[in-house]
Amino acid sequence: MKVLITGGCGFIGSHLAIRLKGLGHQVWALDNLSRQGSELNAQRLMPLGVQVVQADVLNAADLSLPAMDAMILAAAEPSVSAGLQGAAGGVVDVNLKGTLVCLELARQWSSRLVFLSTSRVYSIAGLRTLEYRRSAKRFEWCGDACPGFCPNFGISEDFSTAASRSLYGATKLASEIMLSEYSRLYGLGAVINRFGLVAGPWQMARADQGVITLWVARHQLGLPLRYIGFDGQGHQVRDVLHVDDLCELVMRQLEDISHWHGHILNVGGGMQRSISLRELTELCVDTTGNRVDLDSQAVTNAVDIPIYITDNRRIESLTDWRPQRSVEQTVDDISEWIRKADPAVKRVVSG
C-alpha cells in the first residue's frame, strides 16, 4: 500500500511509519516539524526509505503526492492544555481544519482512514463527577456504575461527550464527526481509535504532554518534577498503552479495514496498566536508581481529571488484539532509550 501519515515525524507517527516500511509498504510522513524533536525522528525515518515531506497539513492539497491507499491522521497539537493561556486558533487549525484538508484528499484518492482520536473527547465535568476516594498512593473510584462507566472496567464509548472537553478534545470530537460523514457519504473505509495515554521511546515529552516519558526522562537525567493539581500529591491515575501495542493494532486495522469500518473504539492499557503519578515516581526511582526533587502545586487546572482508565471491552469483542506490554516494560523501554540517546534527544526530553 501507499500510506500517508500526517504528523509522521511525531511520536506515534514515526513508530507507525517504521512498522509500515518494515512490512514493505510505501510510506510518506508529512510533518511541519513544529513539535520540538520531530526533526530527530525525521532523521531516523529518511535512511529507512520513508519519504519525509516537510509541510503543513493545511497545505497538503497543494503538494504533488501520489494517490494514497491509506491515510493515518496523526498530525495534531496533542496537548489538552492547548489554548488554556492563549489563542485557540493554532489548535483548531491543525486539529480540525487539518483533518478537513485530509478528508478531501481521502475522498479524491478513495483512501482508507485510521483516525487517532483521544479519550479527551469525554466530558471533563462528567469524569470529575464520578465518585472517588484517596488511598495511600492513588485515587480509586468508589461510586456506582452509570452510562459509560463501570468501576471495575473504566470508561467506555458510551460515556458523555457533552461540553466541556478542552479545545483539544473538542477539535478531536469535531474531527471524528466529519470523518464519519465523509466515510459514509463517499464510501471510505474508516476507523476511529480513542486512545488514552500512549507512551514509549521517541516521545519528545514536554511539560504539558507526554507525562510518562517526561517522568522517566527527568528521573534518568536527575531533574526536578512537580505534582500539579488535586492537592498536588500525585494521586491522579491514568492507564498506559505502549506505543508498540498501538502499532500492532493499527497494522491490523489497515490490513483489513472492512472488519473495523465504522467503529469508534476506546483503546488503552486498561485497569491492569493503570498507575498514579506517585506510583510512577516509585517505579522511576526503581528503574533509574535516581530520586529527584518533587515540588507540589495544589491548584487544579481547568482540564485535569482525577482518574481515567480505558474500558477496552468493545475493542476486545472485535479482535484478539490485546495490550501486551506492562507499565513496567514501558518505563524500562523509555529509560533504556534515554540512557543510550545522544545529547540532542536528552536536551529535548529534559523538558
The binding site for ligand NAD (CB under 6 A) comprises: 7, 9-13, 31-35, 38, 56-58, 74-76, 78, 94, 98, 116, 118, 195, 197-198
Query: Checking phi first, is residue 345 left (phi over 0); if not, alpha (psi -120 to 50) or beta?
Result: alpha
Among the listed residues 275, 281, 311, the one whose alpha carbon sits nearest the alpha carbon of residue 294 = 281
Q: Which three cell numbers stand for residue 34?
A: 513544529
Query: 281: burial class by Cβ within 10 Å (0-12, 13-18, 19+)?
Result: buried
Min CB(39)–ligand NAD separation in Å: 9
Min CB(269)–ligand NAD separation in Å: 11
What letter would DSSP give residue 50?
-
Min CB(287)–ligand NAD separation in Å: 20
Closer to ligand NAD by Cβ: residue 76 or 225:
76
Closer to ligand NAD by Cβ: residue 65 or 146:
65
Closer to ligand NAD by Cβ: residue 141 or 195:
195
Q: Are 268 and 275 in contact, with CB atoms under 8 Å apart? A: no
Closer to ligand NAD by Cβ: residue 202 or 227:
202
Residue nearest ligand NAD, Cβ-based? 10
Min CB(57)–ligand NAD separation in Å: 4
Closer to ligand NAD by Cβ: residue 143 or 301:
301
Min CB(79)–ligand NAD separation in Å: 8
Min CB(168)–ligand NAD separation in Å: 7
Min CB(80)–ligand NAD separation in Å: 10
Min CB(172)–ligand NAD separation in Å: 6
Among the listed residues 24, 121, 44, 1, the one whose alpha carbon sits nearest the alpha carbon of residue 13 = 44
**Side by side, which strands form the sheet with 112-118?**
51-54, 26-31, 2-6, 70-73, 112-118, 190-195, 264-267
What letter would DSSP give residue 65?
-
Closer to ligand NAD by Cβ: residue 118 or 288:
118
Query: Which 3 state secondary structure label does DSSP give 148?
Result: coil
Closer to ligand NAD by Cβ: residue 13 or 234:
13
Query: Checking phi first, is residue 13 left (phi over 0); if not, alpha (psi -120 to 50) or beta?
Result: alpha
Closer to ligand NAD by Cβ: residue 75 or 249:
75
Q: Which three cell numbers stand for residue 249?
A: 493494532
- Coarse DSSP helix, strand, coil percentages of the chain, rounded to the nearest 5 percent: 45, 20, 35
Residues 6+ apart with CB under 8 A from 185: none
